[in-house]
């Protein structure tokens, strides 16, 4: 299990926090959600950057969809998604089979 965060993990957290902060700080530009081209450009860029830094994770999809909804995009979805991914990666032990495989193979869960 990694004891510290890598540079990519820290960069992903900064990108997510910055994107959410910009959406709140520049509220009038981003309030329209999916109708705002500025909001769309920011969200597309953030999605590409986060995926390149952390790889594809299913949690990025609901975050991207929520960013299209007017008003709902003011919630910190990018930050929440990144910190969820980092939390899950930190808990995983390299080389150990996932819990789903342990259940199928009949091995006891620890």
Bigger pLDDT: 109 or 63?
A: 63
Confidence check: pLDDT of 1 > 50: no
Angle, to 10 degrees, between the axis of helix 7-25 and the axis of helix 77-91? Answer: 160
CA distance 10 to 27: 25
pLDDT at res. 24: 81
Mean pLDDT of the chain: 79
**What's the whole-number mean pLDDT along residues 98-110?**
56
Per-residue pLDDT of 53-99, as tens digits, reads 999 899 999 888 888 777 777 788 999 999 999 888 776 655 555 55
């Amino acid at each position: 299990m990694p004891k510290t965060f890598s540079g990519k993990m820290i960069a992903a957290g900064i990108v997510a926090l910055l994107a959410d902060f910009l959406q709140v700080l520049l509220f009038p530009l981003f309030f329209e959600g999916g109708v705002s081209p500025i909001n769309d450009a920011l969200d597309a860029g953030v999605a590409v950057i986060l995926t390149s830094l952390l790889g594809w994770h299913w949690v990025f999809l609901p975050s991207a969809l929520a960013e299209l909804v007017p008003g709902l995009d003011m919630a910190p979805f990018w930050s929440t998604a990144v910190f969820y991914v980092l939390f899950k990666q930190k808990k995983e032990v390299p080389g150990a089979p996932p819990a789903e495989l342990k259940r199928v193979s009949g091995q006891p869960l620890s």
